[in-house]
Copies of this chain bind each other. A is one copy, B any other.
Amino acid sequence: MILNVQSTRRNEFIDITRPVQEMISRCELVSQGYCLLFVTHTTAGITINEAAEPHVQEDILTMLNKLAPPGTGYRHQEGNSDAHIKSTLVGVSQYIPVVDNTLMLGTWQGIFFCEFDGPRNRKVHVQIGHTSCAG
């Protein structure tokens, strides 16, 4: 399954928890399983962090901009090397456990698509499957 994401700024966290949950809800029954998410881009990422308080996302973006400042001080000449660096630090995939087609996120957790070189149209692969041992 493919989730389309439209970003509106150069650096932006977009909460995709609800659309991912809706895709999982429409699938055949998975009583014990996983959800895997994969971003097909090299200047974006995906993370799981606090969804209740938007300043957390701002603080993460501020730190990433300190580590990899936007601009031209890089070997790569397309002006978006900072976005590639942020993508490797944050990562382009996530895994979340699933019980009865429901994401087993913690109370404060949300799934965020991380745009580092927007605005753009982006794609996220969403896959679910069965695991073996409920313990």
Contact = CB atoms under 8 A, between A and B. Distances in A.
Interface of A: 1-2, 23-24, 26-28, 30, 32-34, 36, 38-42, 47-50, 53, 55-56, 58-60, 62-63, 67-68, 74-78, 81, 84-85, 87-97, 104-109, 123, 125-135
Contact of A135 (B1, B34, B78, B109): B1
A106 B40 contact: yes
B59 A81 contact: yes
Number of copies: 3
Contacts of A96: 38, 93
B40 A63 contact: no
Nearest to A51: B42
Given A47-B88, A49-B84, 19 more contacts: A1-B133, A40-B106, A41-B106, A41-B109, A42-B48, A42-B108, A47-B91, A48-B92, A55-B74, A55-B76, A55-B77, A56-B81, A59-B84, A59-B85, A89-B90, A97-B125, A127-B133, A129-B131, A130-B132
A110 to B, nearest CB: 9
